[in-house]
Structures are given as structure tokens and as C-alpha cells.
Structure 1
């Protein structure tokens, strides 16, 4: 296929000027008639790898997808871009299905999305030659090695036998090497070309926090992200309902979403989330959301996922548009215990437990988290990422030998027969029933660690486990027991280095520092509101009109003509025709308003400072009130003084400073720049002090 035709199709239907890494290579392979396996992270552009060829291929492209919601979302997006597509599933009325069969017969459809369970229904309408391409989305579902095995996928191996001359493309966001090989074998495409994109989603911030006071942390996190959509993943249905209810009580728009709800309830909640009517979804990990929403700005794991594949796929729902997005995982041993129980009841217990162990190691790590993730998927990375909690705040280590001796000797006196909770209670001298009933208040180690908080003890003990001094006997009700290494600390003067634990205030300050808020009066917000209005008028999700990344580019570039507007990434021909006029009109109006405001602000800014000064506020207080640098306020005061306002500048500088500047002025021959004075004083006098002194001297002259 010629390059010009591919690029013009890409721009016309998808709004992009160029392909992302690997996309062009995969598309060329499809046109060459090859079978392909594509491993590409969520948001990496997998769909274009089969959607663009589908537009140019002569016959229909069959897409196998596991979730009705995902199919509907993809079809709505394709239709919005001017591409003929439909989906077929068991929930549709007979008449709707017949209409789709007629479109197939008349070769009017470019893409048909089908659930694996519905394949038999359409089989009689298709024969080899009528299908140009078969795409299998979420292909990891076919493998028992994968993290989301679905029995219905196991029948898909027949497709290659049924359509031997049709190229088949299997796509997934997450698959380790064993799963990749299994996918190809199960689909009867052992010779498929493998394309593995980078798993490095640089826009995703990674963070793990201890699972204490989770809800309070979540509320603070969400309230700092006004108007932003997010998902909270939980381990149980009850968790989703409890958290959603508490969030509502805190004035937040949240809904629980799990398999226990009726189909109508799930559809309503999902539509509200997609259409930005509801801000937050609390969902069970076991129940896939199937959402292609591009402007999810954050994902929280209230409970730990059972493996890194699932975790990676779930955090990948955030920031699909490439803009900065946050992910946060709460880690607790209660979750580990629960997940181990699930694993022992599964069909492949050894694999599940091994993957859970890797998940646990990730959660407890004191090294760059992105490196751990990428290494797991075979993408070796040497340098730290700078965008995870460990990189942003590398641990400060201290001598924790005494703390270790206290904890280890307490485990020794408890005879290795108690879990972490009771160990901490004994160390802190708790007087609860569990401690008193067993006479643990009589132990020599009772209360020897009462100066350390419960939360901090929990974190230190987790570090002792990671360092190999303590092990958890999962088969003995999670009792903590000493290892051989513990003897070095207790009896052989061995030293222990511990990472300092950040307190809650420090965590909160970090959160405030890194939170990026969209201003309510920004052009982005104006365009977002216009997009929301248009989406409600048309009954389609807002991100299907334009995603956040496209709006941010509009904010940056300010296109005011058709030519400039269509040059924006994400603006195709149909979207230009449908929405270009309204968005250009909004950008022009905002730019005019901004120019008027700028003139007004420039004229009034000194007067505002003068009014606050006359009301008795100090420079620091004015700076805080106006959210301007103190140096800016000093420059306002200097100008006001020079313009004749009654301000005593000598309250800001000393007589000696004034004399020194006066001498420098004479010695330097009255230079024009402050920098000359600053360098003359060898940086020992502030710029604003020099400016004040010169203003006084000029007035005197």
C-alpha cells in the first residue's frame, strides 16, 4: 500500500499526521497477508493497526472482542469518524441483527465487532473470501497462562482453519513471553510476526502507599483533582459499594460497578461515566470495565491486584490521551492473604502464587517501580524513571538495629505463633482482649516499642520481612517467624539499615506539590465545557468528539482558521466539518477576552498592591494574597513611590544600604542595569534592595 494513501487515510479518519512507533510496520504486514501478534500497551494505538487497513481492504474486517461495552464504545468512535461499523451480540433485538446481516450481504460494513460467543450466529453469512481481515482483541484471554483467561476464547482456534487465506491479527496490552507463545499456538498461527511495543507509559505516575487510613487518603487525592475522571479498583463487591457510598457522603460523584448489578444498572453507570455525568467508578478487579475512555486522569487500587499483568492493564486505563495521569496502589498483607486463598482455589495454583509473589515484591520495593514493571515484561531499563514515588523521594536510610532487635526478640518470646497485628499490639503495650487473654502483658518485650506508632511499626516490620529477617508462615495463619538471618541481629551484633518512613503530613505535602489542576477560566476548560455540551446534544461520549490531548493542543496553538484547525492532531475531515466552526469561534472569543483582561489587569495591578499596602498588609502578606512573588510586590511599591504615592521606602532598606548604593552609583558611573550593581556587590545585596535604594536616590535628585 502506498505511503501517501496510508497517511491521507490516517489524517482523514483519525486526525493524525503520522504513525506511532510500530503502527506502520504492523499495517504493512497486514497488507502483505501475514498473521501478526501485537503486544502494545493500553493507549499505544493498537486499534488503528486493524481499523485503518479495514477502511482500505475490499471486504469486511471481523473483530472479536470480549466485552459488549467495549464493542459499543469502539463502534461509536468509528461512526463519529465517518467509518461504517457495527457490533453483534446476544442482547440485540432480532430486527437489529437482521439489519446487520443485510449490511454484510451488501458489503456495506467495513468492521463488524462480535463476541466470541456469537461467532456461530454469523458463521453462515461468511465464507473464505468474504472476510478481508480477522482481528482478535484482548488476545491474552485465550491463554490459561494469561491473567484474564476466558473459556469462550478457546474456540477461536477454528478461525484460521475456517478462513485459511485471511490474515489474522491478535492484539493485547499485556502478555509475558509464555503467554505470547501460547496465544499463537491456540490460534493456530505459530508463524505469526510478533510486534512488541515499549511498555513504558512515561505519562503515568506510579505510587504505592501503605494500606492504612485508605479512605481518608483517597478523599484528599480526589478533592485535589477537581472535574477529573478516575477508577477505584477493589477486591470485593462490598468494598465497591461501601467506598462509593462514603464518597457520595463526601459530596463526590461516585458509583459502584460490579457483576452483581443488573445489565441495565451496569449500562446506566457506565454511560454516565463515559459521558462525564459521573466522575468516579468503584469497580471490582474481577469485572472488566471494557472502557475506551481516553480522559481518565487517575486510577487507584484500593486492594492489591493478583498479578502485574492485571495491574498494568488497569493502570493503563488512565492517560490514554498521553497527558500526565496518576496511579496509586494501596498495599496491605490482608490483601496478600486474601489473594493467596483465591489462588489456591484456582486451576493453576503454582502460576498464580508465583505471579502474586512478583506483585508483592513490586509493592514493597524501594527501587524505581517503572524499572520493575518494564523488566517484568522483558523490556530491560537501566536508568530510573523519575516519575514514581521511589524516584521522587528516594528513601533516607538510618540505623534501625535497635528497632529490629525489639521486633525480633518480641517474635522470639511470642514463639513465632502470632501474626503482625498482635506483634505490634504487644510491642506498643496494647491492653486489648487478644493481648490480655494470652497474658502477653507479662512478657519482657511488652510495651518496649510504645514510642513508635502502629502504622510505622507495620512499615518497619514489612521492611524486616523484605530484608529476610522475618518470614510469614502462610500455612500457619500468617504467623511471623524468625529466619536464620535474625540470629545475626539478635546474637551476633549484626546491623540493620531501615528506610525512613514519611509521616502523613509529608505525604500530604508531596501530594499537594505534584497535583496539577486545570484552571476554571482557562481556554482548556472553556473547550472542555463546549465539548461536554456538544456530546450531550448528540448523545455520545465527550472524548469521542475530541480527547483531552487534542484540546490541550488547541489551547496551545490557538487555531483560528480551518487550515490551522485541521492541522491539530486528532482533527480529521469529518470532525472538522462537524465541530470546527464551534471550536474556532470559542478560541477567537477567548483570545479577545484575554486581550481585554490583560490590558485591564496591567493598568490595575499596581493600584491593587497600593490598596493592600494602605490597609496595613506587609509585603509578604500582599505576596500571599495576590499569589505573586515578593520581588514583584517590591517592584510595584518602588514604581508607586516613583509615581508620587505616599510610601516610606526607608522602611524596606537601611540608611547604610542607601549610602553603599549611592557610592556604587558614583563609582560605576550610574550604570543602566541592576545586574551591574549586583555583580559589584558580589551578590551580597538583593536585587530588590538595590532597586529600592536607586528609586530613593532618583527621587532625591
Structure 2
């Protein structure tokens, strides 16, 4: 809490949070910790909110902003990192009848001045701006003016993990937001994120000076998401089979590490008849915007992207998120997979993972110009993700455990549904390390994984003969191990630091201090059996038939389904006319509730979740007209 005690405000009548929730947003009651958070911030308290994607974070600052504005406290400033997020949030607020605006590079000078004048006159309830703009002298002087007149309501810092050097999406410009505490004491601040481990959380508190803020930490569990990690063989083919088998016609996001990989995978998916678009920082800004708009506004598009895409994407019906390359850490993995199934319907988080992923991530950390302390933290975070990938027990238990949350086996991840066999890889690990040592002794140089495995398995390749490595005592003593099994051993040795990859010497393998305990037999290496690709297993789920209703409408009868389809067609027209994603007009769940109720009067629409006063006035008659046809 700031050094100045917050002054009490009158939140009775139309300013009461529960009334705003119902009247403006059309919801009957708060979910989870929302009410406690809202009441705390409305009362002038600072807050740090950790809530999973789809948990309703935006309401935690939007309702306090409306309540405080109605009580005469003026404008709320929302710090947001993405233009697309600002546009959609402001559009959604306009649909709900709330005065909102944004300041970003899409506005010309005259439009910018108009927004600034409206802000200073107190005509805007929520103003969205990027951290770079918030920290400009011009904007700060405008905030000073609002503060002097008691018209600065609150600060909401969205995607707060961006402030932390330990977070998965660090943005230096977020660090300067300490000015909000130092310059505007007494104005409540709420920092929100979907992803932060204990280290990142502590860094957010320190950097934003939220030591006295109340912390609200919701469960990180997303029970509707099924986690699957397969051994990478031919990743693009594996992805294609996964989509064709389980997600034909569904919207999805596929993450790749490089721009070229994004382009190649997008082409492969399109060649297979999948409606796929590429997205990465190398594309022209107008192309990126066009692709993002299509993904948000059209159905069944698969976006193939680098991590440049995704933050703040509110599309509720993303049915799967795939990773063809391993992320840097669990926070990044959790944030990215969390973009699936925001509507609560069944969704998949699918990743193909292999030895080269381990090598690449280790190399990026080792070659970074950061200090050794930072590298050690990053290695620890990577190790946690590698442990998740190699796990033979419940993925969800491991994932939640990373964030300090205890749980029980979920029964819905790949390991729970098809428990993998495990084997003792200690002997294979010792033989691999011995081979690396003897090759180094004989030749004086290091070699890559393929050559080491050839020696151990006794394959008389040209390279083996060229260097005389068939004379090494370990030649052929690992013939009983398959290449797949040995790659698994290598992955775990590299993951645990018992083996290193020398990036400067063409990704050759070298022993480390950690190799000793394995060579002496002091460290046991337990491994899971090779994970089959999805195509080699019986399908886990019935494939959704093309044209099947979304989860929200699955329980409707035939007539209800017809009403739902008609309402969706009407919603698409309205969304196009307003240049907004369809879900901003009404979510599928709201349309399904309307279709089930078969309303005949405006009164029949009252109380349906997602229909506030403004939307009832704006769309009620049209909704009745659409339903009357059935």
C-alpha cells in the first residue's frame, strides 16, 4: 500500500462492484478471488494478482476503475504491452457501454490530442497505454494534472511478469514503472500476471515497490487442458498427424523457435489442407496485423508463430497449442499453452521434444552475454522444464509443483492415460561417458552425439574407421541399446549437467565435473521408454467432426443447435461491421444460453450470463428476431 492512506469512497448503489458486474458485464456473480481483489482495490489498496489465463483478470481492474470513476475518482490508467490487446479490450468495453480509449502508435497526432483532452476532462474511465508512453515527460505531466485535481483513479499494470529479469518475457521499459509509486503516492496500483514462479514474483514486488501490496494467488491448474509431450522424430509430420487426428478444422497455435521454421511449417500445413498463417517479427507489420486479425476474427485458423505472438490474445476457442521446439522455461511453456481452451472446453497442449532442443537451449544460455548468476538461474529454470519433459509421472502434478501448488494425478495427461515404462539407464550412461573420455584421449578432439553412439553400438562407419575408433575398448559394448534409447540417455545427461555441449566446437560432447558421479556409479539414471508419436497410438479422443458444435453448444437439442448456428451467423455480421472479434460481441456460452432459453421477449434475455444493460439495449431486439425464425 502507498505511504498515503487511501481515502474511503462511496460504493453504494450503482457504484457497488456486484451491481457493476451484473449491469455492465452481465454476470451474476464473481468467480474465485475476483470479489476480494475488486473490493480491496476499490477501497484504495495495492494488489499483486496471479491468475491463470482465462481466469478473469481484466475484471479485477475494470470493475474497480468503473466504481472509482462513478465515485468521482476519475480515470484509470492501464499499462498494456501490446497494441492488439489494447484495441480488443477497448472495443469490448465500448460494447459494454464503458468509456475507454487507448494511446498508441496507430493514432495520428490529432487523434492522440483528442484522447488526451478527453482524458484530462475526465470523460474516459479506462485509458490503455504502453509502458514507453507512460514514462514520457508529456504523459507524466498530464498524470500530474489529474493527480492534483484528484482525478487519477488507479494504475493497472497488466502482464506484470514483463518487469522481471527472471520472467519469460522481460521488457526493460517496465522497470521505469517504479515512477508510479514514487510520483503518485496514494493512487492504488494493481499488478496482474498469469505466470510467475516465486523468484519472478519476488522480483515483481521489488521492482514495482509492491512490498506492502496484498497478494492474491489463484490456482494455476487448467484442468481442461491435456498435456502431451512426444519424442521428436519428424516433428512436422507428427504435428500434421496430431491435427488431422484430433483437431481438424479447429483453431490452434503452433510455436517454433526460428522465423524460417515458422514459414516452413506454415507452408507444410497449408499443403496438407490446413488453414495456417505464419507470424514472426520478420514479417511486415501490416502483414502481422492482418494475420492476427484473421486469427481472431475467423474460425479454424492455425497460427504458426514465434513467441512474438500470443500475449494478450483473448480468443476463447483455441483448441490446441503445439510446440515444435522447446521453450526456455516452464513459465513460457505455461503461458503459451494457457492460450488454449480459455472457454473452458477440452483443449490440448502438445509438444515434440528431442535431444537437439536440449542442446540448443543449453547453448543459448551458455553463449548469452549475461552474468554467471543470471545464467545459473536460467539453467535452473531450463532444468525444471527438462524434468517435466522427461517425467514418467503426472505432468500436471509436476507443472503445478513448479509454481508451489500441490496436486494429485490428473488422469488427463499423456502419462496418466498411458503410463510409460521406465528403465535403468545407468549402465548405458556410464558406457556413453566412458566412450567420450576414451575418444578424447585417443584423438585429442571431441565428437558429436551421432559418432559417439556409432562407436558404442559398434557401427563400422567411414568416420569410425578414419579415426581408428574401432580400436577403443568401448567399441560395440552398447550394441544392445537402440539409437533412440541412447538419445534419451544423452538428453538426460545434458539436462542434469553430467555432459556438456561445446557450441564453439560444432556441438561436440564433452565431460563435466558432474560426469564423475555417473561414471563411478554413484548417480542412478532412470529413463522413460521411448515415447511413440501420436500416429502410432490409438487415438485418445474422438476426433471432432467438422461442423460439430463448440463445447458450449454441445448439449443443445436439434432446434437449439439451429438457433445457435443462426445466432453465430448474426454475430459474425455484427463483429465484421464493428471490426471486432466475434467473441467480443457475445461469447459462445452466451449464444448457447440464448439458444437454449429460446427467448420471446427482452425480459427473457435478462439474467443470461454475458448480457449487460448496454448489450441488451443494443442487441436484444436483433437477438429476438433471429430466434423467432425457430
Task: Report whether the alignment pairs 1:392 with 2:417.
Answer: yes
Which secondary structure does the structure 2 equivalent of 1:298 belong to? strand
Match of 1:23 in 2: 34
Deviations 1:611-667 (A, max 9, x none): xxxxxxxxxxxxxxxxxxxxxxxxxxxxxxxxxxxxxxxxxxxxxxxxxxxxxxxxx
More helix by share: 1
Equivalent-residue separation in structure 2 for 1:397 and 1:360 (angstroms): 16
State the Cα distance separating 1:54 from its structure 2 match: 1.4
Number of the residue aligned with 1:316: 338
Measure, in 1, the Cα distance between the counterparts of 2:64 and 2:168.
Answer: 29
2:166 match: secondary structure: coil
TM-score, normalised relative to structure 1: 0.75
The equivalent of 2:501 in structure 1 is 474
Q: What is the aligned length?
A: 582
Shift of 1:240: 1.0
Equivalent residue for 2:286? Answer: 264
Partner of 2:538: 509
Could you report, residue by residue, the CA deviation over 1:418-466 in whole angstroms, capped at 9, with x for unpaired residues?
Answer: 4433344445665655445334466687677778764455346546778
C-alpha distance in 1 between matches for 2:172 and 2:334: 22
Say if 2:133 is the partner of 1:122: no
Flag the 1:484–1:157 CA change in 2: closer, same or farther, 3 A: closer
Q: Check if 1:41 corresponds to 2:52.
A: yes
Whether the aligned pair in 2 keeps the contact of 1:73 and 1:291 (CA below 8 Å) is no
Matches within 5 A, 1:68-87: 68-87=83-102
Asked whether the 8 Å contact 2:231–2:532 carries over to 1, the reply is: no
Whether the 8 Å CA contact 1:409–1:445 is kept in 2: the answer is yes
Conservation of the 8 A alpha-carbon contact between 1:255 and 1:278: no
Q: Does 2:573 correspond to 1:568?
A: no
Could you say which residue in structure 1 is the equivalent of 2:354?
332
Partner of 1:180: 201
Cα distance in 2 between the residues matched to 1:435 and 1:557: 74
Question: 1:323 touches 1:549 (CA, 8 Å); kept in 2?
Answer: no
**Aligned position for 2:380:** 354
CA deviations over 1:497-549 (Å, ceiling 9, x no partner): 764435447644234x3544465477265654443343224321112122234
Aligned residue number for residue 691 of structure 1: none
Q: Secondary structure of 1:330's match?
A: strand
Alpha-carbon distance in structure 2 between the residues aligned to 1:100 and 1:125: 12
State which of 116, 123, 146 in structure 1 corresponds to 2:167. 146
- The change in CA–CA distance for 1:91 and 1:561 in structure 2 (over 3 A counts) is closer
Change (3 A) 1:237 1:488: same
- Residue aligning to 2:314: 292
- Asked whether 1:546 is paired with 2:586, we answer yes
Q: Does 1:52 align with 2:55?
A: no
Preserved contact between residue 471 and residue 480 of structure 1 (Cα < 8 Å): no
Q: Given the alignment of the two structures, is residue 208 of structure 1 paired with residue 229 of structure 2, yes or no?
A: yes
| Contact 1:210/1:459, CA 8 A, preserved across alignment | no
CA contact (8 A) 1:62 1:114 kept: yes
Q: Give matches, 1:523-562, under 5 Å.
A: 523=561, 527-554=567-594, 562=602
Residue pair 2:101, 2:127 contacting (<8 A) in 1 also: yes
Pairing 1:161–2:176 present = no
Q: Aligned partners of 2:600 and 2:107: how far apart in 1? A: 44
The 1-side partners of 2:395 and 2:589 are apart by: 26
Q: Distance in 2 between matches of 1:78 and 1:346?
A: 43
Partner residue of 1:420? 449
Structure 2 SS opposite 1:10: helix
Q: For 2:57, what is the secondary structure of its paired residue?
A: coil
Contact 2:430-2:518 within 8 A present in 1 as well: no
Distance in 2 (CA, whole Å) between partners of 1:453 and 1:176 is 38
Aligned counterparts of 2:460 and 2:23: Cα–Cα separation in 1: 71
- In structure 2, the CA distance between the partners of 1:194 and 1:496, relative to structure 1 (3 Å rule), is closer
Q: Does 1:192 align with 2:203?
A: no
In the alignment, what sits opposite 1:62? 77
Given the superposition, is the C-alpha separation of residues 456 and 276 from structure 1 closer, same or farther in structure 2, using an over 3 Å criterion? farther
Higher normalized contact order (CA 8 Å, seq sep 6+, divided by chain length): 2
Deviations 1:65-91 (A, max 9, x none): 111111112111211222111110134
- Is the 1:64–1:114 contact (alpha carbons within 8 Å) kept by the matching residues of 2? yes
Indicate how the Cα distance of structure 1 residues 178 and 447 shifts in structure 2: closer, same or farther if over 3 A, else same: closer
